[in-house]
Each structure stands twice: as structure tokens, then as C-alpha cells.
Amino acid sequence: MKALFISIALVISASVFSQNQTEQTKIKDYLDSTLQNKNTLLISNALQNVTASDIYQSELLFSTSYQDGHNILQLRYFIKTANKLIAFKDRNDLLASSAFIKSLNAKKFKLKTEDDGVAFQSLLKLLDNERGLGFFIEDNTWYFNRETRFGETMAYVVTTANNGQISTIVYENDLKKTLPETLLQSGETIDFTGSGALISKKDSAFMHQYLLDNVNYEFEITPLNFYSLNTISTLSINKCNLKVTEGEEGNSFTNNIPFMLISNNDEYIKTSIDGLLEMPIFLNSLQKKYTLKTEDDARLFQYVLDDLSPVSKFDIELKTFYKKDNMWFFVREKRFDDLKGFIVLIDSKNKVNHIEYTTISEESIIRLKMKDPSFKVDYKFKLAQPTTNKVTLQKGEGLNIEVSFDEAVVNASGCWILTRRDGSDSVTYAGNNLHSPYKHDITGMSLEGNHHVFEYFLLKNETMNAEDALSTITVEVEIK
């Protein structure tokens, strides 16, 4: 019997291991699929008279988040000569190569005049994005100063034959040479950009595969298990690391790129845990049987919050939850005088249909209620002063007009108020926190003539047309 139990345990253990391995393989396949290749045509043979070759930059990229930029895993420069792509680790190696020198000769380019120097300086700009500080010449050697940093001069040293044909190009990171007081053609360039040839699919595929074949990377995946989360959700959270090793054996270094991967069934997203609870992938992962109905349900949900979004030690005493109408409130912290936390909306069957981290206030409650198309909104936009819409004034007498409204509803809707005087826009009242009543003081001196019409329009955010107003108040003024 003991042997039977051991056999069963081994089978279960092997099954779990197999499932974990299967899931890890799926995750790695997904991550591999998110590697991107970006190819850029830096120099087009057709758009300049210096080199007879096209020169490309190819990058292998990886993003650690669905909304952030990219990390460069591999970057190479390619020169296309005789319909063949040759790769280089950096642009300086490319410029120094025999392939590039031959491409100059094939174009019959020579360095003999200042105009030739400007043309070569323009080509360098396409590679390093530096305007260039100019150049100077000593015998058959040209010095192209690219930039000066902390007293060090970075330059290309180009040697030529007597006829100007280029023989060598060497990049100096710190040129040990006294520069003349004035450099030739400083910053002068020729525009070699334009609608050059597109990169062919064949060349793009070649460069992409070259980068993949010459990068040493590995995805490390560590599942994070939260008992509370597993109780209500099918979501998986994985702590990942992209390890990229560069250099030769015995002289290599490793670059680690950490990130988080969230998965639910076959849906994957690279993101941090911060903000995860408000994302659709979390909402979709809530198990069909889970409802947020009782205090025990809410307590379990609070355990999930504690695991994924723990409160600070200063806010532990504030932590609580309660229900009001179709909303559950989970208080997590206090900022200045505002309580903040998660507001969770539930439907008639107590299923969660919306989660949001926000200020717990009447304004937030109304804003969330307004997500329901059937919710009836009353802005209570009314004339408070004067008590009538038709006013008679003596000449020189002023008027104070006050318009009241429901602050919470108006601010939750992002509304603003437009004032018109006699058909022309005159005053706006807008902002994130409008206060009621809105006061409009009109001096007697400004009331010239016998009749005036003041109109007040309550407008939705980004709505500029008064004809689309949510509510309108008109006050007519007669002057005796």
C-alpha cells in the first residue's frame, strides 16, 4: 500500500511538472514572438554621389511593457555590395572596411576639394547624426571633426592617394592633434535624404535572421503563486528576466532585463503588477463562480488586494471595506484629506464588472454610476439669483446673477459653463473642480441700451457648440 501511495505521488508530481514545463514552453514561445526587427536605410546609393552601396542599420528589439519603449538586444550595420549584405558590429568598422572603400571607388568619389569634403561630411551625418564641426587637411590626410566632449575630439582620419582616392578611414575617439583655429565648412552638409529605394523583403529577412543567429539570449520565468488570487481568478503572474550575454567566452558580460508577464489562458500581456487590477485581463480572469456578495467575499477580495497592491505600514489602520448600492469600497490609503482605494461595481448577480482605483468621494461614485446607460443624470442647473428670468433695472443699476448646480454631478461629468451676452460668447467657467453657485456680476456702466439677453450653457467636456448644451438658462434685462 505504501508503495502504491509513493507511485501515485510520483505520477502527480510528474503531471504537475509536465504542466509547468508545457506552460513555460508556451510562455517562451510567446516572448520569442514579441522580439521585433527594425531595419533602417541610412544611406541610399541613389541619393548621393559618395558611395555606390546602400547602408542599413538593423535592430533586434524587445519591449518589457505593452506601453513602453524598446530595449535593443542586438544592433548591426550592413553594407550591400554586389547584391550581397555584409554585417558590421559598429559603423566605424563599416567605414574602415575594404567593402566601403571599394564602394567609394566604384562611385569614383575622391577627396580633392572642399566641396568633396562637404559631401563626405554629409555622408558621415547620415551615420552618426552629428552635423560635424568641420574638417582640416594636412598633405594627403583629412581630419573630420565630429564632436568635442570634455576636451576630447572625436574625428575620422581619412588618408588619400595623390589623386584624392581614399585609401583608409580610421575613427579616433580622442584625436591627439592640435586643431587649427578655424575648421573648414563647419556644420555644412548636403541633403542626401529623399525617397530612396525601399528595403526588400529578402534583405529584411536576411538581416533579421542574422541578428537572431548572433544574439545569445534566454528568458528566465518564475511563476508567482498567490493563494488568494488563485481562489477567485485564472490569472497567472510570472516574474521574468531576459538575460542577454555578449562577448566571447572568458570575456563576456550579461545584461539582465527584468519584467512581469501576466497571462490568462492564451492571453498574455507584459506589464507591472501596479494597475493590473484595473485591466481587462484581470476582469476577464475572474472565475465564473466568483461573486462579490457577502462580507466573506469582500474579505477574500481584500486579501487579493493585499497580495497584489499592499498598503503601506502608515495606512494599515485605514484599511477597510464596505458596500453601498451596487458598489464595494476598499479603502487603501489617505492622501492629504482624501481617502483613496478601489471601487468595485457589481451587477444584479453580484458579478464584478468594473474595478477602479480612485478617490473615494461622491464625485467618483456618480462618475462610475454614469457608466450605466440607464442612469439618469440631474445636473440641477438652475437660476438662483435673481428669482425671475426677466429683470427690469434702472439706468446705471447693476445685476448679480447666480447659477446653481450639483457640484458632484457636474464635476464627475467634466462639464463647463459658457456665458453669452446678446448672442456673443463672453465668459467661460471651467476646471476640474467647479463650485456652485457660479456668480456673474454685471456693472450698471456696462448695461448700455434698453435690452440685454444673458445666456448660460452647461456643456460637456470638449463640447464647444452651445446648441449641444445639456441645460440652458436665459435672463432678459430691460433698462428703464
So what's the pLDDT on residue 463? 86
So what's the pLDDT on residue 88? 97
Assigned C-alpha cell, 400: 448679480
Give yes or no for residue 10 having a pLDDT over 60: no
Rounded CA gap, 153 and 136, in Å? 13
* Contacts of residue 231, Cβ cutoff 8 Å, sequence gap at least 6: 300
Mean pLDDT of 289-301: 95
So what's the pLDDT on residue 5? 33
Across the chain, mean pLDDT equals: 91
CA angle 269, 275, 276 (to 5 degrees): 45
So what's the pLDDT on residue 291? 95
Mean pLDDT of 159-184: 95
- Tell me how far apart the 2 most distant CA atoms of the chain are, in Å: 110
How would residue 248 be classed by pLDDT, with cut points 50, 70 and 90? Answer: confident
Mean pLDDT of 10-26: 58
Task: Compute CA distances 64 → 34, 123, 239, 268, 401, whole Å.
Answer: 10, 34, 12, 12, 56
Chain-centre distance of CA 429, in angstroms? Answer: 32
Mean pLDDT of 247-260: 88
Of the listed ranges 18-32, 67-81, 442-456, the least confidently predicted one is: 18-32
So what's the pLDDT on residue 296? 96
Closest CA to 268 of 72, 16, 64, 15: 64
Rounded CA gap, 167 and 120, in Å? 14
HEC string of the chain? CHHHHHHHHHHHHHHHHHHHHHHHHHHHHHHHHCCEEEEEEEECHHHCCCCCCEEEEEEEEECCCCCCCCEEEEEEEEEEECCEEEEECCHHHHHHCHHHHHHHHHCCCCCCCHHHHHHHHHHHHHHHCCCCCEEEEECCEEEEEEEEECCEEEEEEEEECCCCCEEEEEEECCCCCCCCCCCECCCCCCCCCCCCCCCCHHHHHHHHHHHHHCCEEEEEEEEECCHHHHHHECEEEEEEEEEEEEEECCEEEEEEEEEEEEEECCEEEECCCCCHHHCHHHHHHECCCCCCCCHHHHHHHHHHHHHHCCCCCCCHHHCEEEEECCEEEEEEEEECCEEEEEEEEECCCCCEEEEEEEECCHHHHHHHHCCCCCCCCCCCCEEEECCCCEEEECCCCCEEEEEECCHHHHHHHCCEEEEEECCEEEEEECCCCCCCCEEEEECHHHCCCCEEEEEEEEECCCCCCHHHCCEEEEEEEEEC
So what's the pLDDT on residue 281? 95
**Do the beta carbons of residue 264 and residue 235 sit within 8 Å?**
yes
Mean pLDDT of 88-103: 97
Rounded CA gap, 270 and 145, in Å? 43
Q: Per-residue pLDDT tens for 397-429?
A: 999 999 999 999 999 999 999 999 999 988 899
How would residue 3 be classed by pLDDT, with cut points 50, 70 and 90? Answer: very low
Give yes or no for residue 220 having a pLDDT over 80: yes
So what's the pLDDT on residue 195? 61
Q: Per-residue pLDDT tens for 131-170?
A: 889 999 999 999 999 999 888 999 999 999 999 999 999 9
So what's the pLDDT on residue 196? 57
Task: Compute CA distances 253 → 62, 245, 248, whole Å.
Answer: 19, 6, 9
